[in-house]
A and B are shown apart, each in its own frame.
Chain A
């Protein structure tokens, strides 16, 4: 199985900040990396797929990138509604493993 190592596990930031969450795969996954947002008590929602493709309707302050073996989710101009947990997922090879998650506190 491909292991996804996500960091940090928790993060505290302020409104207006820029935050970065990183995910690293145990082996190559091309750009088959997706990001999900899960607000407290709700089902996860897809934010981004294919490492850098923003889902329609997701605010443009969210962006994704790949640098070397590290995938990054960046949230610019943090808003109160961004309070959530964020999960990466690789869909390169089954089982399509998730990262451990990052809990973002505002």
Chain B
């Protein structure tokens, strides 16, 4: 059974750094792109980008490029989303999802989400 399990909720102050995780299991981790999706409170879904864990090839949305960093550790089948300096506007729910490539990498499996709250 394919599973993506994300790390727990975080409360941070503006300017702090953060790294959240997404652990994949039940499939060959290096064979599928992993994506990140933001959902701000009460809002829609925003595609942040994707990473291919085998070689860490990444594709960022222009809206998020330079604001976040994707990484992956094949040895522990875990993908990461990190910020070096959080802003209040980073508050939201962040989902990881495993992509399937036959129609352009749509998201077939989703993690449960990690709620990030940034507040002074």
What residues make up the interface of A, taking CB atoms closer than 8 Å to B?
A: 1, 31-32, 34, 36, 38, 43-46, 49-50, 53, 55, 87, 89-92, 94-101
B63 within 8 A of A: yes
> Chain A nearest CB: distance from B59 CB in Å?
5
- Whether the Cβ atoms of B110 and A44 lie closer than 8 Å is yes
- Whether the Cβ atoms of A43 and B44 lie closer than 8 Å is no
Q: Specify the main secondary structure of chain A where it touches its partner.
A: loop
Q: Which of B37, B45, B49 has the most CB of A within 10 A?
A: B45
- Whether the Cβ atoms of A44 and B61 lie closer than 8 Å is no
- Whether the Cβ atoms of B47 and A89 lie closer than 8 Å is yes
Q: Specify the main secondary structure of chain B where it touches its partner.
A: strand
Which of chain B's residues has its CB closest to A87's CB?
Answer: B45
> Chain B nearest CB: distance from A65 CB in Å?
15
Determine the distance from Cα of A32 to Cα of B100 in the docked complex, in whole angstroms.
Answer: 12
Determine the distance from Cα of A101 to Cα of B104 in the docked complex, in whole angstroms.
Answer: 20
Residues of A within 8 A of B63 (CB): 95
- Whether the Cβ atoms of B106 and A94 lie closer than 8 Å is no
B92 within 8 A of A: no
Determine the distance from Cα of A28 to Cα of B45 in the docked complex, in whole angstroms.
Answer: 21
Residues of B within 8 A of A55 (CB): 108
- Whether the Cβ atoms of A95 and B61 lie closer than 8 Å is yes
Residues of B within 8 A of A31 (CB): 103
